[in-house]
Amino acid sequence: MPDLADIYHVLLLRDYNTRLVVVCTLLLGCACGLMGGFLLLRKRSLMGDTLSHATLPGIGLAFIVSVTLGLEGKSLPVLLLGAVLSGVLGCWVVLLIRNHSRIKDDAAMGIVLSVFFGAGVAVLGVAQTMPAGSAAGLESFIYGKTASMVWGDFQILMAVTGAVLLLSILLFKEFRLLCFDEDFAAAQGWPVRWLDVLLLALVALVTVAGLQAVGLILIIAFLITPAAAARFWSERLDSMLILSAGIGAFSGWLGASVSAFFPRMPAGAVIVLVAAGCFLISMLLGKERGVLVRLYRHARLKRDIGRQHLLRALYEIIEADDPQVPEMAIRPVAFRQVRGRRTWSDSMLKRYMRQAYQAGLIEESGGEIITLTEAGLAEAAQVTRNHRLWEMYLIEYADVATSRVDRDADAVEHILGERMVATLEAKLMQLHEAGGPAVPVSPHPIRPVD
């Protein structure tokens, strides 16, 4: 285990090599997070995967060609150029298959991905046997070899991240429109096809720049995971992208640092695991769509509805005894009477009662008897009135109703306005006088306590 001094040393980027590697992965993470956001929303995640796998034959061929021409075989720019070309070729083949045959996207990508990868492995095999130049180390592009990154990598990553940042800012509006509604963009005259190509080219750039760091198999995880994690926190594209870039950068930094302590753990894998950790945390805790937030909202909704049902049941039981008395008086109600009003189990009903007691709506009384407090009666009257008005509204205005009904609103007036409420109240009164059975009957409009 590394001691504290070592950790300190690495995290503060004291050592030149570590510093270089960590800064490189941080930049890469930022670029990946940004492009991944667009890729995810354009629903092209698998296209990114195809692209990265399709880079391998290009790397091998670039090496063979440059060795044959008598050049330095492992010159990074040459290899990366080969990677870009074959990656883009792979995407193009996918589009070709999709547009000119009846094979669907997923199958087309599956075919291209595996065929190109297989071809890449074969080409690398050939390259190993070449007499001139050593092909050893080429296969590091498959899994990545972060520790071997040099100043040249840093320059490339700086340029790529800069380009990606700049274009994302400049073309934010265009990319957003492209991702959301391609047809509308085209109808407005945007060159949708070229924007799409540009987006894919940027993804290709990021992918190739990341080959050294995380390798072509894991780069897709680095592209998609931060973006998917960021989606749980935000409902706006701009903040989602910033967050996604941030999560990417954080994963790159932490992953590379951790792998600096444990030389046997490849940085690419650790980076992806950190990103996955961020994803997991986001999925659970995300402010906008995290699992816990959803569970909490659902539980709160259930509790509110339970309380309303309890109050309404109590109110209507009291009301039924003496419908002609204009003023309601608090009166104890038997537990079994309440239980018969709805399909709740005893334990559920008891839980709602406990909650109502804690909220000061009912008085504590010995098990079988329930008594409303003053505040409880007021709220029960309010709830009953609101619900009856809503029910009347749903019946009378069935065509417009459903999108406006909000049973939880404090007062119906807030949504429907005073006049509509007056009309609904008048209708309820009529029904009561006629004694109609199947509609909610209100003996008198109940004014909420002001």
CB-based contact 445:385 (threshold 8 Å): yes
State which of positions 27-56 bind other proteins (CB under 8 A).
Answer: 41, 43
Check binding of 400 to other proteins (CB under 8 A): yes
Interface residue with other proteins among 181, 321, 406, 433 (CB under 8 A) is 181
Task: Dihedral sign for Cα 85, 87, 91, 97, please.
Answer: positive
Check binding of 228 to other proteins (CB under 8 A): no
Q: How far is the CB of 133 from other proteins (least distance, A)?
A: 45
Q: How far is the CB of 223 from other proteins (least distance, A)?
A: 17
Span interacting with other proteins, options 144-152, 186-194, 263-271, 352-360, rule CB under 8 A: 186-194
Q: How far is the CB of 244 from other proteins (least distance, A)?
A: 11
Interface residue with other proteins among 129, 173, 358, 367 (CB under 8 A) is 173
Check binding of 176 to other proteins (CB under 8 A): yes
Check binding of 229 to other proteins (CB under 8 A): no
Check binding of 170 to other proteins (CB under 8 A): yes
Span interacting with other proteins, options 134-142, 207-215, 234-242, 245-253, rule CB under 8 A: 234-242
Spell out the SS3 assignment of the chain: CCCHHHHHHHHCCCCHHHHHHHHHHHHHHHHHHHHHHHHHHCCCHHHHHHHHHHHHHHHHHHHHHHHHCCCCCCCHHHHHHHHHHHHHHHHHHHHHHHHHCCCCHHHHHHHHHHHHHHHHHHHHHHHHCCCCCCCCCCCHHHHCCHHHCCHHHHHHHHHHHHHHHHHHHHCHHHHHHHHHCHHHHHHCCCCHHHHHHHHHHHHHHHHHHHHHHHHHHHHHHHHHHHHHHHHCCCCCHHHHHHHHHHHHHHHHHHHHHHHHHCCCCCHHHHHHHHHHHHHHHHHHHCCCCCHHHHHHHHHHHHHHHHHHHHHHHHHHHHHHHCCCCCCCCCCCEEHHHHHCCCCCCHHHHHHHHHHHHHCCCEECCCCCEEEECHHHHHHHHHHHHHHHHHHHHHHHCHHHHCCCCCCCCCCCHHHHHHHHHHHHHHHHHHHHHHCCCCCCCCCCCCCCCC
Interface residue with other proteins among 103, 187, 334, 426 (CB under 8 A) is 187
CB-wise, 279 or 315, nearer to other proteins?
A: 279
Interface residue with other proteins among 4, 327, 402, 435 (CB under 8 A) is 402
Q: How far is the CB of 138 from other proteins (least distance, A)?
A: 40
Check binding of 335 to other proteins (CB under 8 A): no
Check binding of 399 to other proteins (CB under 8 A): yes
CB-wise, 102 or 336, nearer to other proteins?
A: 102
Q: String of b and e for 395-411 (b: at least 16 CB within 10 Å)?
A: eebeeeeeeebeeeeee
State which of positions 98-157 bind other proteins (CB under 8 A).
Answer: 102
Q: How far is the CB of 194 from other proteins (least distance, A)?
A: 12
Check binding of 14 to other proteins (CB under 8 A): no
Check binding of 419 to other proteins (CB under 8 A): no
CB-wise, 189 or 263, nearer to other proteins?
A: 189
Check binding of 3 to other proteins (CB under 8 A): no
- Here the tokens at position 269 are 């894998």
CB-wise, 168 or 259, nearer to other proteins?
A: 168
- Here the tokens at position 123 are 């080409």
Cα separation values, 136 from 63, 210, 218, Å: 11, 19, 21
Interface residue with other proteins among 264, 343, 403, 418 (CB under 8 A) is 403
CB-wise, 180 or 296, nearer to other proteins?
A: 180
Count of residues that bind other proteins according to CB under 8 A = 31
CB-wise, 347 or 403, nearer to other proteins?
A: 403
Check binding of 95 to other proteins (CB under 8 A): no
Span interacting with other proteins, options 14-22, 133-141, 173-181, 272-280, rule CB under 8 A: 173-181
Positions that interact with other proteins (CB under 8 A) = 41, 43, 102, 170-174, 176-177, 179-181, 183-190, 231, 234-237, 240, 399-400, 402-403
